[in-house]
Chains A and B, each alone.
Chain A
Amino acid sequence: MTKGILLFCFDTPETKYHTVLERCVGLIKKNLQLEITVVTNYETFKKIKPLGFINYKFVEPELGNKKNGKEWRNVDRHLAYELSPYETTLVMDIDYFPFTDNLKQFLATDYDFLISKDAYDLTNRDSFDHRRWSLIDMVWATVFVFRKGAKAKRVFDMVKYVKQNYAYFNELYRVYGKNFRNDYAFAVALEHANGFIKYDTLPIRLPTLPPDCKIVKFTDTGVAWQYGDQINYTEGQDVHVLNKELVDV
């Protein structure tokens, strides 16, 4: 059974995501020790420094989605099933930094599709309680695991359908934001694919730093951040960093 990690990375005019990828890959190699495949375009690939053995798959990102007025190339996650060369795949956002090996074990389960419903706000503000922003539970497409087979294929086919009709589902479930978010595309798809009953999830809360946290230090073992006049840090804990100015640290 082949196992590996699939990452998506596309630079935008505003953000050099390839530098975020370089940090993420370094931590994957150190802590997860799994084969890596990066989905990218040639324009981004040219800027990535040599990272050792990595598979690359080239696709042109679908454009048009925006976040806070900036280009947001996040629309291609539905291709993960087709693009992954592995039988069991861990898909991760490149701004999710694995400072532990916690995620590795989830590739050794008999589940077909696992995703987390919860994020944990490291600043103690509980700012990720998104249930109030839609009629259905949100999932965090930041990290998910799937095993190729009929069930996972059905989920991805449903994600594609939701994506094609995103405006409709967005209205139907009264999702607060109008831009395309994988979190809601997967949430809607999982509800539909599972007959609107409870589905299997990863029993973890993704430790997350909200966008207004400035990263002041980034090492091999953890991050320090500033929020207002407070500075705090964490070590030996996975962290999802939402502030993209991380590339400048």
Chain B
Amino acid sequence: MDIGSLKKESDLSFDVAIAKRNALEKAHSRLVVVYNEHIFRADAETINLVKTMEEVHSSPFYILDTNNNPMEVSNSKELLHVLVERNQEAMSSYHQMSKTFEKRND
């Protein structure tokens, strides 16, 4: 491969890497969700915590929001639903973007 083609490939890889990084940041922004006047990240850690508490602790239980302020959870099913919905909305969008990156790299 000549140096011109290599540079072209390199530029394309750079563009794709930036676009992918930005898409991930977009997904992270979307994971932030407000529930019961508190702010949470609908990430794996929060979802796992709520699911675990639901299974092993009687209601209500208490969790910390993104500013480390406590919130009483009296309806864990509702919170879990909100977290999972938001998580999958963000991940689905990121997944779709990832597919377009694969095509660009082909």
A positions within 8 Å CB-CB of B: 100, 102, 105-106, 108-111, 120, 122-124, 200-205, 207, 229-234, 236-238
Q: Are A203 and B18 in contact (CB under 8 A)?
A: no
Q: Are B67 and A200 in contact (CB under 8 A)?
A: yes
Partner of A236, one of B15, B34, B39, B93: B93
Instruction: Determine which residue in B30, B66, B67, B93 has the highest number of CB atoms from chain A within 10 A of its CB, and name it.
Output: B67
A122 touching B14 in the complex, CB below 8 Å, given contacts A204-B29, A238-B29:
no
A232 touching B25 in the complex, CB below 8 Å, given contacts A200-B67, A204-B32:
no
CA distance A122 to B21 in the complex (A): 9
CA distance A105 to B33 in the complex (A): 7
Q: Are A124 and B67 in contact (CB under 8 A)?
A: no
Which residues in A have their C-beta under 8 angstroms from that of B22? 122, 207, 232, 234, 237
Digit string of B18-58 for contact with A (CB within 8 Å is 1, else 0)? 11011001101110111001110100000000000000000
CA distance A229 to B38 in the complex (A): 43
Q: Are B25 and A207 in contact (CB under 8 A)?
A: yes
CA distance A205 to B32 in the complex (A): 11
A109 touching B18 in the complex, CB below 8 Å, given contacts A203-B66, A205-B25:
no
Which residues in B have their C-beta under 8 angstroms from that of A237? 22, 25-26, 29
Q: Are A102 and B30 in contact (CB under 8 A)?
A: yes
Q: Are B15 and A230 in contact (CB under 8 A)?
A: yes
